[in-house]
């Protein structure tokens, strides 16, 4: 029995290492949780009347050894919620991570709500517009606390995007 358990743990570590997950992630009980909601008021703060958004695929990404979102980051785990609540479990203590929505997973007609509004961090939007050089909507990078710890209230608010035909932008004419 012990041999089977040891073999299963060893096999899991090999699979996780091949996927780019550090061995500490396989041994931790760390969890990252939050919700995705439709911010109908587009104010960046979740009200009781605002519904959760199901079926959005989120990706937990390791921010690389430099702890910056810059293209050296790697996918660690994906989660597609049926309810609008999400949970990641493969985060290693002391490592830099962020939660993202990749370009192919962005819901049509929606964009991140205003970032970190209000005075209650458990009800605000933690998702930003794409950073320069990336197509990801992402949370800020955070360092995963010690084993057994939780990162909670990393919530993602999305607003419906509407087109206003009266809004125009005048760009300078570029001649070649």
**CATH code of the domain containing 52:** 2.60.40.10
Give pLDDT, residue 170: 53
Residue 64 lies in a domain: yes
Strand 31-38 versus strand 156-160 pairing type: parallel
Give pLDDT, residue 171: 52
Place of tokens 């958004």: 53
CA neighbor of 106 nearest in space, from 153, 159, 143, 142:
159
- H or E segment to which residue 160 belongs: strand 156-160
Residue 108 lies in a domain: yes
Residue 45 lies in a domain: yes
Residue 103 lies in a domain: yes
CA neighbor of 69 nearest in space, from 100, 91, 92:
100
Residue 50 lies in a domain: yes
Residue 76 lies in a domain: yes
Average pLDDT of adjacent 10-residue blocks, the chain of 176 residues? 38 39 47 95 96 95 91 91 92 91 91 94 91 84 84 93 63 53
Give pLDDT, residue 34: 95
pTM score, two decimals? Answer: 0.74
Residue 140 lies in a domain: yes
Domain limits for position 129: 30-160
Distance (Å, rounded) from C-alpha 55 to C-alpha 81?
5
């Amino acid at each position: 029995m012990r041999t089977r358990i040891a073999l299963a743990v060893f096999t899991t570590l090999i699979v996780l290492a091949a996927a780019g997950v550090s061995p500490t992630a396989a041994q931790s009980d760390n969890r990252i949780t939050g919700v995705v909601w439709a911010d109908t008021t587009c104010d960046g703060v979740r009200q009781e009347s605002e519904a959760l958004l199901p079926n959005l695929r989120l990706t937990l990404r390791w921010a690389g050894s430099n702890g910056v979102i810059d293209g050296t980051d790697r996918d660690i785990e994906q989660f597609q919620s049926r309810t609008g609540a999400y949970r990641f479990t493969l985060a290693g203590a002391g490592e830099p991570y962020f939660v993202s929505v990749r370009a192919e997973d962005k819901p049509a007609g929606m964009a991140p709500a205003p970032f970190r509004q209000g005075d209650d961090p458990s009800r605000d939007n933690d998702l930003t517009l794409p950073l320069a050089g990336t197509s990801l909507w992402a949370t800020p990078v955070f360092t995963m606390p010690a084993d057994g710890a939780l990162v909670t209230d990393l919530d993602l608010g999305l607003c419906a995007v509407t087109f206003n035909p009266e809004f125009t932008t005048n760009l300078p004419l570029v001649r070649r």
